[in-house]
Amino acid sequence: MTAADGGEELVSAVALEEEREAEATLRPRRLAEFIAQDRVREQLELLLHGAMRRGRPPEHILLSGSPGLGKTTLAMIIAAELGAGLRITSGPAIERSGDLAAVLTSLGPGDVLFIDEIHRIARPAEELLYSAMEDFRVDVIVGKGPGATAIPIDVEPFTLVGATTRAGLLTGPMRDRFGFVGHLEFYEPHELDILLHRSARILGIELTDDGATEIAGRSRGTPRIANRLLRRVRDYAEVRADGVVNAENARAALQVYDVDDLGLDRLDKAVLTALVRSFGGGPVGLSTLAVAVGEQPDTVEEVCEPFLVRAGLLARTPRGRVATAGAWRHLGLVPPDRLTFFDRAMESLPSGSGGRTDTIGDGAAPGRRGVRAEQQDLFSQEP
């Protein structure tokens, strides 16, 4: 594997298999230790403490958000706060209703069942889960055809914690059975700063303030990526420098892994370069763009585009993908006039107007989270 290939894995929000042990070491154990997500943390604290005072399991909990933001960590914290057992499974692993029935009947009183990627659970298992969530009972079908009978089996009261990266794929009946729904937002750079210092203390890494700032700015607002970059910069600092993770060593290390100052990797930059240099900034269709960079369309759409759109470098339009003015500037090119009129219009606004770009266009404001203040001009684009 080349350093460039490693760079693509470095900024992927999906957990790598070899990272499981490292992630377990860095996970907070209590809500008080969980960094950021203040609103969700406060709501969960009220929900859990209220349930404990009543002596009953809390209502079922659904956590949504992009990969790497802490959904699994929060599920573990919920079980720890309740002093309950935790069973972990995933939606794709539950292929038949019998698989789910076996898990549910093995739960103890008050246990927490965590189902990751719950939107991918098989439909027969999902329908079995409805009665378990509402009535703490499952109906097991014995036999086939006219002679089949349903045997009701009681299960112990439990709390289901479901996690999903695509809440829109959940069916209405499933979504309605959750008493609490929390959405995890991307982290701000200063929140990642705090997280990196905590991780450095646990791992015994000498991390300077400017080193943490440098890594946080390239972490795409995602704790998993921040911790991964910290470990790779540590390797570089120990092998080629003085062992201290500072801004200079961080920049040098991430240059080796081809991660730039926005957190873009080789494939991200290839998409932007093809869009700008080969197609004049677009619009261009997804399949054509994927052929230009030598990747599958679903790789470009699911791996590259979410962050490029959130960072204001790429826009999805009915006619195809379009590079924004920020994309041209990031590649060191002058954007065409059709993309810069909005910049000039904003400069002409009175000083008291605040010049907010998130009131124009569709969806600029959510993309601001996890992007540094000096990068806000990336959102300037034709509405």
CA–CA separation, 232 and 104 (whole Å): 40
- Catalytic residue chosen out of the listed positions 72, 159, 222, 357: 72
Residues 6+ apart with CB under 8 A from 337: none
- Catalytic residue chosen out of the listed positions 218, 224, 232, 269: 224
CA torsion, ordered 172, 173, 178, 184, to nearest 10 deg: -20
Residue keyed to tokens 């590649």: 331
CA 220 vs CA 242, 281, 336, 347, 372: distances in Å: 27, 23, 27, 28, 10
359 noted as active-site residue: no
Q: Which two tokens stand for residue 223?
A: 């704790």
CA 192 vs CA 26, 66, 243: distances in Å: 14, 16, 21
299 noted as active-site residue: no
- Catalytic residue chosen out of the listed positions 71, 220, 269, 321: 71
- Catalytic residue chosen out of the listed positions 73, 111, 116, 269: 116
269 noted as active-site residue: no
116 noted as active-site residue: yes
- Catalytic residue chosen out of the listed positions 165, 222, 324, 357: 165
Between strands 180-183 and 61-64, the pairing is parallel
72 noted as active-site residue: yes
CA–CA separation, 336 and 161 (whole Å): 49
Active site residues: 71-72, 116, 165, 224
